[in-house]
């Protein structure tokens, strides 16, 4: 699974960090040549 999180950091400081969104890309089947993925927003 690959999880991607987008965050806002005002003036580059993590003190006021806000999460804008998260996306997960999940392998749901297949083999080495052909793979199926699901995307969760």
HSE-up (13 A, CA, CB side) for residue 40 = 9
The residues, ordered by sequence, that sit 6+ positions from 2 with a Cβ below 8 Å of its Cβ are: 24, 25
Q: The domain containing residue 34 runs over which residues? A: 2-40
CA angle 25, 37, 35 (to 5 degrees): 135
Percent of the chain's residues with pLDDT above 90: 85
State pLDDT tens for residues 26-38.
999 988 889 999 9
For range 7-36, the mean pLDDT: 93
- Please identify which residue in the block is written with the tokens 């793979």: 35
Q: Are 19 and 7 contacting, i.e. CB atoms less than 8 angstroms apart?
A: yes
The number of distinct structural domains making up the chain is: 1
């Amino acid at each position: 699974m690959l999880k991607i999180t987008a965050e806002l950091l005002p003036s580059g400081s993590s003190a006021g960090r806000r999460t804008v969104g998260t996306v997960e890309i999940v392998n749901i089947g297949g083999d080495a040549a052909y793979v199926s993925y699901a995307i969760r927003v």
